[in-house]
Structure 1
Amino acid sequence: MSGNPVMSAPVVETPLQRFLAEMLEDRIAVGALMVFAALVGVAVLAPFITPQNPYDLAQVDVLDARLPPGTLASAGFTLVLGSDGTGRDLYSAILYGLRISLSVGALSGVIAMITGASLGLVAAYVGGWVEATIMRIVDLQLSLPAVLVALILVAVLGKGVDKIILALVIVQWAYYARTVRASALVERRKEYVDAALCLDLSPGRILFRHILPNCLAPLIVVGTVQTAHAIALEATLSFLGVGLPQTEPSLGVLIANGFQYMLSGRYWISFFPGIALLVTIVSINLVGDRLRDVLNPRLKR
Structure 2
Amino acid sequence: MSAAAALPSPTPAGWLRRYARRPGAVIALVVLVMLVAAAGLAPWIAPQNPYDLAALDIMDNMLAPGQELGTGRIAWLGTDDQGRDMLSAILYGLRISLGVAIASVAAASAIGATLGVVAAYAGGFVEALIMRVVDLQLSFPAILVALVLLAVFGRGIDKVVIALVVVQWAYYARTVRGSALVESRREYIQAARCLALPRGRIVFRHLLPNCLGPLIVVATVQIAHAIALEATLSFLGVGVPVTEPSLGLLIAHGYNYLLSGKYWISVFPGVALVIAIVAINLAGDRLREVLNPRGAR
TM bin, normalised by shorter chain, reads over 0.9
Corresponding residue number in structure 2 for 1:65 = 61
Stretches of structure 2 that go unaligned for 5 or more consecutive residues are 1-8
- Could you tell me whether the CA contact under 8 Å between 1:81 and 1:268 is conserved in 2? yes
Q: 2:133 aligned with 1:137, yes or no?
A: yes
Q: Distance between the aligned counterparts of 1:31 and 1:234, measured in 2?
A: 25
- What is the CA distance between 1:216 and its match in structure 2? 1.1
Corresponding residue number in structure 1 for 2:184 = 188
Measured against aligned partners, the alpha-carbon deviations of 1:205-254 in whole angstroms (never above 9, x if no partner) come to 11111111211111111011111000000000000000011101210010
Out of 109, 118, 122, the residue aligned to residue 118 of structure 2 is 122
- Please tell me the residue identity of whatever aligns with 1:292: R
Out of 71, 79, 85, the residue aligned to residue 83 of structure 1 is 79
Q: Distance between the aligned counterparts of 1:276 and 1:300, measured in 2?
A: 32
- What is the CA distance between 1:191 and its match in structure 2? 1.7
2:259 counterpart SS class: helix
- What is the CA distance between 1:204 and its match in structure 2? 1.4
- Please tell me the residue identity of whatever aligns with 1:146: A
What TM-score comes out, normalization by structure 2 length? Answer: 0.95
Measured against aligned partners, the alpha-carbon deviations of 1:149-197 in whole angstroms (never above 9, x if no partner) come to 1111111111111100000000100000000001111111122111111
Q: 2:159 aligned with 1:159, yes or no?
A: no
What TM-score comes out, normalization by structure 1 length? Answer: 0.94
Out of 54, 64, 83, the residue aligned to residue 50 of structure 2 is 54
Out of 223, 230, 254, the residue aligned to residue 250 of structure 2 is 254
Corresponding residue number in structure 1 for 2:171 = 175
Corresponding residue number in structure 1 for 2:286 = 290
CA RMSD of aligned residues (A): 1.2
- Please tell me the residue identity of whatever aligns with 1:76: G
Aligned residues: percent identity?
64
Measured against aligned partners, the alpha-carbon deviations of 1:77-136 in whole angstroms (never above 9, x if no partner) come to 111100012110000000001100010010100000000000001111111111111111
Q: Give 1:75-114 correspondences, 5 Å limit.
A: 75-114=71-110
Between structure 1 and structure 2, the one with the greater Rg is: 1
- Could you tell me whether the CA contact under 8 Å between 1:33 and 1:283 is conserved in 2? yes
Corresponding residue number in structure 1 for 2:6 = none
Q: Distance between the aligned counterparts of 2:235 and 2:15, measured in 1?
A: 39
Stretches of structure 1 that go unaligned for 5 or more consecutive residues are 1-12
- Could you tell me whether the CA contact under 8 Å between 1:85 and 1:257 is conserved in 2? no
> Structure 1 stretches (4+) deviating beyond 2 angstroms?
297-301
Farther off after superposition, 264-273 or 190-199: 190-199
Q: Distance between the aligned counterparts of 2:213 and 2:178, measured in 1?
A: 12
Q: Distance between the aligned counterparts of 2:69 and 2:169, measured in 1?
A: 45
